[in-house]
């Protein structure tokens, strides 16, 4: 059966995540301790003990989520048989780790820097719109003056809009009247929109210095929704990713068209599995997050 690995992005963080894994699996303990040494501060302490506000800050949430997902992947990879990988926004970096494109040291420092840049963005907001078709959301967004975009196409009935406070507010009110549910996202600024162009420039410069290898399996790009294998294209799309919309729905549909029947989500929560089911219907999904799920997958 053709299998895809999926890795979650920012928003799934939860105080305490990884603590039970750290206490039970020596390999995971080693990875967490190494991450503390590499970063020069205790990301495990923030992950395990919070406080919530500190963990939710992008500069901490992003390395914490990558570390959690990668540690689990590293524990189970010997029994994983997969053809393609993808990650949602930040999760794309974990996908490239799983595909051998990035070294762990580089990936951890990259997402810490990415998180610091995104923490510094203080303009704009993001709202999730639930219960409306993405095309309807796009039409409303296009009618609103100012800087506003449809930023994340998460499922056929969940689209995130991002942009200037006034513009997002106006669009949200219109979408409410059409029957949509509006959920404000807890982020510092309007990610995946032109409002973060300023912080994308230093990130692109840092990407130029990172060694990027050809992936062992294709990775679906958030920007193009297509498989990428060329290191130069990977560098380019990662540089654009923080600015451009996340094409998650198209990624999932492209995977299914290419024969993927099984989707394994590795990391905190079940957000991506829910998106898979609402987008593709009856396909097999599996979550690996807790010690119990790891042991069950390993057949212990």
Give the catalytic positions in this structure.
89, 192
DSSP state letter for 5: E
Question: Is the backbone of residue 132 left (phi > 0), alpha (psi -120 to 50) or beta?
Answer: beta
Residue 164 to residues 144, 191, 198, 285: CA-CA distances in angstroms?
Answer: 11, 11, 15, 36
Residue 149 host element (H or E):
strand 148-155
Query: Residue 245: phi, psi to the nearest 5?
Result: -65, 150
CA distances from 298 to 83, 168, 238 (A): 19, 46, 32
Q: What is the end-to-end Cα distance of the chain in Å, rounded?
A: 22
Q: Could you give phi then psi for residue 247, rounded to 5 degrees?
A: -95, 60
* Nearest alpha carbon to residue 260 among 228, 290, 220: 220
- What number of other Cβ atoms are within 10 A of residue 59's Cβ? 19
Q: To 10 degrees, what angle do helices 26-39 and 104-119 make?
A: 60
Query: What is the arrangement of strands in the sheet containing 84-87, beginning at the earlier edge strand?
Result: 227-228, 219-220, 84-87, 3-7, 262-266, 284-288
């Amino acid at each position: 059966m053709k299998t895809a690995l999926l890795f979650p992005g920012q928003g799934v963080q939860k105080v305490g995540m990884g603590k039970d894994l750290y206490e039970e699996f020596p390999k995971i303990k080693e990875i967490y301790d190494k991450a503390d040494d590499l970063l020069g501060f205790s990301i495990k302490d923030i992950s395990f003990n919070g406080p919530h506000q500190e963990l939710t800050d992008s500069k901490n949430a992003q390395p914490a989520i990558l570390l959690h997902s990668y540690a689990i992947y590293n524990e189970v990879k010997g029994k994983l048989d997969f053809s393609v990988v993808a990650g949602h926004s930040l999760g794309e970096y974990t996908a490239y780790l799983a595909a051998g494109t990035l070294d762990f040291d580089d990936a951890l420092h990259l997402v810490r820097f990415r998180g610091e840049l995104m923490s510094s963005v203080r303009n704009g907001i993001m709202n999730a719109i639930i219960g409306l078709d993405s095309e309807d959301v796009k039409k409303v967004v296009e009618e609103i003056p100012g800087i506003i975009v449809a930023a994340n196409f998460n499922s056929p009935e969940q689209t995130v809009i991002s942009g200037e406070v006034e513009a997002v507010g106006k669009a949200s009110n219109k979408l409410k009247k059409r029957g949509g549910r509006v959920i404000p996202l807890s982020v510092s600024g309007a990610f995946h929109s032109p409002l973060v162009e300023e912080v994308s420039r230093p990130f692109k410069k840092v990407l130029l210095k990172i060694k990027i290898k050809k992936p062992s399996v294709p990775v679906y790009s958030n920007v193009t929704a297509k498989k990428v294998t060329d290191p130069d294209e990977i560098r380019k799309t990662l540089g654009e990713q923080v600015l451009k919309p996340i094409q998650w729905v198209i990624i999932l549909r492209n995977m299914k068209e290419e024969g993927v029947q099984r989707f394994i989500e590795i990391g905190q929560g079940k957000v991506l599995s829910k998106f898979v089911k609402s987008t593709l219907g009856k396909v097999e999904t599996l979550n690996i997050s807790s010690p119990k799920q790891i042991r069950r997958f390993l057949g212990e």
